Amino acid sequence: MNIVILTYGSRGDVQPFLPLSLGLMARGHSVKLAAPSRFKNLVENYGITFVPLAGDPEDLSRRMNNVGFNPFKQMREMMDHAVEIGADVARQTDEACRDADLIIHTFAHAVGAHTLAREKNIPDVHIQTFPMFTPTGDYPNVAMPDLKIRALNYFSHYAASRISKWGAKFGYEQVRRRAGLPKRKLFFPFDDDPIRLPTLILCAWSPSVLPPSREWKENVHVTGYFFFSETESYQPSVELRDFLSVNEPPICVSFGSMVNRDAKRIDEVVRESLKRTHQRGIILSGWGGMDQSSSKDLLYLESAPHDWLLPRCKLVIHHGGAGTTSAGLCAGIPNIVVPFTADQPFWGRRVHARGAGPKPILVKNLMVERLTMAIAEAATKAAGERAQSARRMIRGEDGVSHAVKLIESHVRDWNERAIF
């Protein structure tokens, strides 16, 4: 089976699809992974065929950080970014899927990929790393605070789904007129259709972190996280190896793909908090690009694989992106979540509810006193034991194998239905 996986965003939006791709390839399937061009080396290093997509997700990160937690402004910035790159991405995905037997897509591609699958009369699968198109009263849409009332929580999901549907149609019309593309009837993959088999929805998170809802239909499944056991081929620099070999494990600070105009203040708060709590730190500057000098107690790196580094640290401070949250929980160390935007407050609340870290601190409220208190709470024996408990449950799951079985079963059902 020729499978095309379409994803867009930061490394956290690409990383889970590396082990999934290898899991599908091990079953004899041919896989292409389409993602922003900056991830070419990351993908190809695993022997996966890569299809570059237009656009720079760092620009989207900057936009989202600038608007903070306003869901309407977040949607506007995502729409503006999508319109700018839409024509190129549409052509690239059409070409990537030319010989596809199955299209797997994520949030950013949901409408376009499903439409393409319908045009080609092939099945599609939607994979989400955060709950978006699966309405429930158990919790609100990821961009909203917990509304405490089930009916309001459910409505927040419904409203977000409708906004996404009509936003995609409006955005494509802008792209079409700007680029001279042909008219195209768009289809929303989550609408009921008595003729077509429902799109399979796989939720790539641990059920111990966010359980499945009883309100979901039979086509929605929580698989567990998509993980490698560890990046065994990673060779740390001498500087990193030496830093880890001294004294007790450090704290890892990773704000990854966050590009924030207040980065200097955030860095100062982190440094002072580590100093007051007498902790050593490894600071992964990521796209934020803080260019600071390392010292005997602080090591600045652009990046390092979370699945390799975090188990060697005592706790992690991060922004609460879905990918970093999953890596932090899987490492079995306490997580301090400092949300910047989008779904990050949601995951911060889930980490706290799971007992794997203190209450999240919104980045706009980050100050030395609050962070030092959070570090002290996270460094306790009880917090460490709860984090280890979360790790054991997560490691007992096999998200990739579960997902592969569900994908293959969905395609078999599709083919059997097509025969009749």
Report if residue 231 sits inside a domain.
no
What CA–CA distance (Å, rounded) separates 222 from 331?
20
Report if residue 215 sits inside a domain.
yes
Whether 166 and 243 map to the same domain: the answer is: no
Whether 391 and 401 map to the same domain: the answer is: no
Domain with residue 358: its CATH number is 3.40.50.2000
Whether 193 and 278 map to the same domain: the answer is: no
What CA–CA distance (Å, rounded) separates 402 from 286?
31
Whether 112 and 143 map to the same domain: the answer is: yes
What pLDDT, on a 0 to 100 scale, did the predictor assign at position 129? 93
Q: Say which residue the tokens 């599709």 belong to.
A: 414
Whether 34 and 143 map to the same domain: the answer is: yes
Whether 206 and 252 map to the same domain: the answer is: no
Whether 191 and 287 map to the same domain: the answer is: no
Report if residue 83 sits inside a domain.
yes
Q: How many domains does the chain have?
A: 2
Residue 281: strand, helix, or coil: strand
Whether 391 and 269 map to the same domain: the answer is: yes
Counting every residue, how long is the chain?
Answer: 420
Q: CA neighbours within 13 Å on the CB side: how many for 369?
A: 1
Q: Which domain does 385 fall in, by range?
A: 238-395
Whether 401 and 391 map to the same domain: the answer is: no
What pLDDT, on a 0 to 100 scale, did the predictor assign at position 28? 97
What pLDDT, on a 0 to 100 scale, did the predictor assign at position 250? 96
With CA atoms as reference, report the closest residue to 228 among 398, 393, 351: 398
What b/e sequence results for 219-236 when a residue is b if at least 16 CB atoms lie within 10 Å of its CB, and e otherwise? Answer: bbbbbbbbbbeeeeeeeb
Report if residue 230 sits inside a domain.
no
Report if residue 327 sits inside a domain.
yes
What pLDDT, on a 0 to 100 scale, did the predictor assign at position 383? 93
Walk along the chain (420 residues) in steps of 10 and give the mean pLDDT of each run.
93 92 98 95 95 80 61 65 74 93 94 94 96 93 85 92 85 79 87 89 96 96 88 80 90 75 84 95 74 82 89 95 92 95 90 94 94 96 94 93 98 79
Whether 372 and 402 map to the same domain: the answer is: no
What pLDDT, on a 0 to 100 scale, did the predictor assign at position 420? 44
Report if residue 147 sits inside a domain.
yes
Whether 90 and 124 map to the same domain: the answer is: yes
Q: Say which residue the tokens 């955030």 belong to.
A: 266
Report if residue 27 sits inside a domain.
yes
Element (H, E) at 159: helix 150-179
What pLDDT, on a 0 to 100 scale, did the predictor assign at position 239? 92
Report if residue 409 sits inside a domain.
yes
Element (H, E) at 312: none
Whether 249 and 385 map to the same domain: the answer is: yes
